[in-house]
Structure 1
Amino acid sequence: MREFLFRSLGPWLLAGLSTSVAADAPRFEFHNHFLLNLHHRLYSGARRPAQLTEAERQAWEPALALYRREYLQRHPLFDEQMDAIKQSLRRAPDAVRTPQGLGLPKELEQALGLAASLYAEESWPLDRARNARWQAGLEALQRRHGAAIASGLEFQLGQGFPAEPIRVDLVVRTGTFEGAYTTQAPAHAVIATGLPAHAGLHALEVLYHEATHTGPADRVFEAVNAAFRDQGGHDVKNQWHGVQFFIVGAVVREALAQAGLPGYVPYGELQGVFARAWPGLPQRLESLWFQGRQQGRSVEALASALVASVPAD
């Protein structure tokens, strides 16, 4: 599998460096934001109290009760109210520690205000330092490998990254199963720095997976869904997301290999994502997608062929 990928990815990945993408594209704007970290810590702590210190559990119980009652059943990516909260919080500068005047629901504003002082004293210094270390390591990887990865992804996905910087908020925990999520308009990713699965070289794949949710994966999403409709079905298993997972992981793996870092195991393979959600999809993509793109086949044509190859349930 990996030998095939190395042969098929290498030519366009090397060629793309000089023609497709500027050396610093896409641009990321990293934030280590006090209030967004506090919000996600409360959301995560309400779900998993063992993540909090005893002092936090006791002092924050009114805030945790609010999160359990109002927000735990809401996903920050798919719920409009949760997105509105995030958009309100991000208006504050990173260092601001008071939520007043941001347009938050009154009860949430009070809860964050009461929790802020203990968080600032006890856990924020550790969270801020962890986020900063993760960012420093990631930015070093991005400087070395980012142009190659961006070039490869734009070629394989058939769509470019946004011209404006992609905001990336670093939090120790997101409180979600996924550990990261991204919204558009404006492009904004939230990534957990405290997960072992996001450490080291995998931070680079997580960053670019989230970045492709800001536009580059849209064409694949539309093409796969259109192919299902044309063939009388629906993408009930989100095959498009499996395509995105596989392409990002494979491109990162080959960029690292060509830079002298062979043996990288992509996130989806290492964490069992494909085995759980899309068994057999990597093998179908190996023999279809990369070779097809090199031969000049469109994303839409490849999506149609991929959907036709999906086994019936």
Structure 2
Amino acid sequence: MLVLGIDTSCDDTSLALLQDGKTLLSNVVSSQVDLHRVFGGVVPEIASRKHVELIDGLYRETLKEGGIPESSVDGIGVTAGPGLIGSVLVGLCFAKGLALSLGKPLIAVNHIEAHAMSIFLEREVEFPFIALVVSGGHTIMLLIQGFGRYRVLGSTRDDAAGEAFDKIAKYLGIGYPGGKVIEDLSAKGQGDYVTFPRPMADEKNYDFSFSGLKTSMINYIKKYGVTEDNLSNIMASFQEAAFDVLVSKTTRAALDHGIPRIVVGGGVASNGRLRQVFTERCKKGGMEALFSSPEFCTDNGAMIARVAYQYYSEGATSSLNVAGYSRMKIR
């Protein structure tokens, strides 16, 4: 079974071909980082227009790299949301057109679920498990019972973790994407240089909040200033505070539910320090922390194809009338 996966949820245009849910024939990703760098963040209108320009050419490139004709595609998986709605609609409309012209089934995929299940591109994971999806647009915790069988345990009440990183980097003018810049600076700094607050860390729910941490960071900089000598230490302290909350709440959820497996996905999951903290804490608590390879943490068509393959193999396809959506229903 050959499935095409399409993702245009934010600013990356990505298409992939996956055979039998295991063999990745191609995974083409076009980044718009250079377009949005001058703004210090993704501009939705620019992102959606660029998707329109790129998607057909990238589709042809994906087929060529996979070495197959388009008639060999059995099913077409595509992100239906959540994401920037203009961007989502570009991929969704393209996928609908392909499905109609080729006479192939359409499989609409939830972008969050795809991040949580991207681990299955490389290995099998026993159900149930706790999944944390953490990126520039999302911070959400799920209890996963199987493909298409999950329950939201908690989410951010304001900024996503990656969003807070990008906003701090933009405020300081140190570069974009902010998460990668802060990770590189933090590697040279001391995480205990400043004791930033751990928002909502002691609350019994599994929700997150990063707006207050961001404000605390900005207030510290306004009061004490930032220099070339202390920048790395301040960034490391900020990163440590954010990761402490992510790890402590997720591991607590795993313990509360008696589940010894945690899967971490999304762009921030490629951060080496986050992986280290998760691995160390889980080991102490008798749990296992699992991560996809960095290439499958960021937005990619392969993870969409993997979920779409599972749905299609179980006979679950979508109507051509399926609608795109910008937000995931949390409650």
Identify the TM-score tier after normalising by the shorter chain. 0.3 to 0.5
TM-score (normalised: structure 1): 0.33
TM-score (normalised: structure 2): 0.31
* Bigger fraction of residues in strand: 2
* Bigger fraction of residues in helix: 1
